[in-house]
Structure 1
C-alpha cells in the first residue's frame, strides 16, 4: 500500500482556529488518495506563509522523505493546491529535483502535477525548465549589473568561482529565510557552493558577507 504525506497549510491563526480552508484541503487530498488507493499521514503548518520553505512541519515532512527508499515509510507528499506547499517557482523546482533524486513522489492536485505518473512528470519537467530559465535570466541581469559597475570604476573584488546566479539566489533567499533555511533551500534547488559541496549555515554566512563586501548588495536578512 502506498503511503503519502498529506501536507496542509493555513496562513493565519484565525484560519487555523476556525478550520477555514483546512477541511477543503483535507477533503481534496483524501478524495485523490482514495481514488489511487493511498494511505495518508497528515502534516499541518498553522498560521504560516508559503514565502519560504522554512516551516517546521514541512521541514519535518521533507526530512521523513529523505530517508533512503528501502528504509522510508512514506512514498511522497501531496497538497491540494501548489500554493499550500510553495509560492516560489524556484522552491517548488528544488523540491521536484530533490524528489527525483531520492525517488519519492510530489503531487499538487490543482495543477495536475503527480510525479508518480508519466503525465504528471511531464508537467513537473516543464515547471523545472521554466525555473531554470528564470535563474539564467537573473544571472544574465546580475552579470550586466556587475559589468556596468566595473565600467563606473567600482571595485568588484573576487568572489571565488561561485556562479553569479547562485550568489544572487542566496541573497534573495536571505531576505525571507534564516541562514539555516537559506542553506536548506539552496541544497533543495540543487545549487552547490563554489567547490561543488552542499551548503551549510556557516558557508551561507561567509558567502553572504563576501558578497555584501564586494557588491554592496542591499539585503535585510532574517537572523
Structure 2
C-alpha cells in the first residue's frame, strides 16, 4: 500500500507519441493503480520524450530534483521507462542512495532493491576480478620481501577536516540549487520578504535540508548560497544585509 509523497516520471520515445499521448495514458494508469489504496499525494508528473538508449535525461534530472525538494519517492510505470542500460541504472541507483532518495516501478515494486543489482552483476564481477588481481599482486610483493603498510589508526588531520567541511558545503549548495527555481517563482509572484518566503515554502510542503520547517534565517542562508551559485555579488550583498528585525532588504 502506497504511503507518502511521490513524483511520477513518464517517458515516451518519440515526439509523435508525446503529442498524441500514445503510451502516456497507459503509464499514467499503471502509476495510479499502484498508488491507489494508500495514503499518498502526487507532488508532480514529469514527462520526457527521449529514446531509452540515451542517458541524457533533463526531465529525469528535474524529477529527481523534485524528489529531493519534497523528500518524495520517484514512481514509474515500468522499469524500462528509466533505461535499458544496466550501467545507467547502476549509476542512477548510486545517485539515489547518495541523495537518500527512493524509486519504485509499478510493474516491479522490488526493482529498486533487487533487479538493478542483478542487471549490474557484470560490473560487480569485474570489480571483484580487479580486487582479486590487486590482492594477488600484494601477496607477490610480500613474498619478495616488500614491507606492506598496515593499519595505524585513523588520524584526524587538517586535510580530513577540510574535506568534511567541503562535503557539508557541497550538500548545502546542492539543496540551494534544488530549491532555487521555487524561490524564484515565489519572488516573481511578489513574495520577497524572508518571512513570506518561509511561509510559502512551508505551505507547499517543502522541508528544509534537515527535514524541518522553514524560518526566516534559513531562507536567508539559502539566498546567500543561491547568490554564490549564480555568481551574483549584488544578490549576495542583499542576502547577508537583511534586517533581522523585519525580515526585509534595505533599499
TM-score, normalization by structure 2 = 0.45
Structure showing greater relative contact order (alpha-carbon pairs closer than 8 Å, 6 or more residues apart): 1
Choose 1 or 2 for highest CA Rg. 2
